Amino acid sequence: MQQADFLKIVGPFQDKLYRLAKRLLVSREEAEDATQEILLKLWAKKKNMGQYKNVEAFAMTMTKNFCLDRLKSKQAGNLKLVHTNYKEGGSSLQKKVEAKDSVSWVQKIMEDLPEQQKMVLQLRDVEEYDYDEIADMLEMKPTAVRVALSRARKTVREKLMQKHSYGIG
C-alpha cells in the first residue's frame, strides 16, 4: 500500500480520531500525540488493512484503548476525562457566556458518568456514530449501547434540571 492510498483510507476519519482523543485526554497536545501514535500504528498494519471489516471502527477502538491506557499509566499525571468539543458561534456576549456555562456544566456532569456511558454519549451524540458501529467499537451489544446512552442522557438531563431548577414555578 502506498502512502497516498493509506491517506485516502484514513483521511476521512482522522479528525474523528483526534476529537475522541481530545475528549478523553483534554490536552490538545496529548490528543495530537495520541492521534499521531494511532496513525503510526495503522501505518504499521497497512498490509492487513484490507482484512478489516471497518477500518474506521478499528481505528476508533485503537484510539479509545490507547487513550484509556494513557490515562491509567503513571505518565498520565493530572489528565482527566472531559468533553471539550464546544464551538462558539457569532452571538451576543450574554448568549456566549450562558452557552459556555451550560457546556461547562455538561462537562462536569459527564465527568461523573460511568466510563461506558461517557464513551457511548461521546460516540453517539458528538461523533454521530450509529448504534452498530458503537457496539463494534466498544465490544457491546447494540441494545446495551442504547441502554447506556439512555441512562447517560437521563443523568445529564436530571442534573441539568436540578442545577437550573427547570420545571419549577
Give 100-147 pLDDT, tens digit per residue: 777 777 778 888 889 898 888 888 887 888 899 899 989 999 999 999
Alpha carbons within 13 A on the beta-carbon side of 1: 17
Same domain for 35 and 2: yes
Instruction: Judge if pTM exceeds 0.75.
Output: no
Same domain for 62 and 19: yes
Segments forming the whole domain that contains residue 10:
1-82
CATH code at position 100: 1.10.10.10
- How far is the C-alpha of 145 from the C-alpha of 132, rounded, in Å? 9
Contacts of 37 (CB under 8 A, 6+ apart): 66
- How far is the C-alpha of 84 from the C-alpha of 103, rounded, in Å? 8
Number of domains comprising the chain: 2
What are 47-67's pLDDT values in tens digits? Answer: 888 788 888 888 999 998 898
Same domain for 115 and 58: no
Same domain for 77 and 61: yes
pLDDT at position 165: 63
- How far is the C-alpha of 87 from the C-alpha of 70, rounded, in Å? 26
pLDDT at position 99: 67
Domain end marker among 47, 82, 117: 82
Q: Which of 98, 109, 110, 23 is nearest to 67 (CA)?
A: 23
Taking residues 12-18, report their average pLDDT.
91
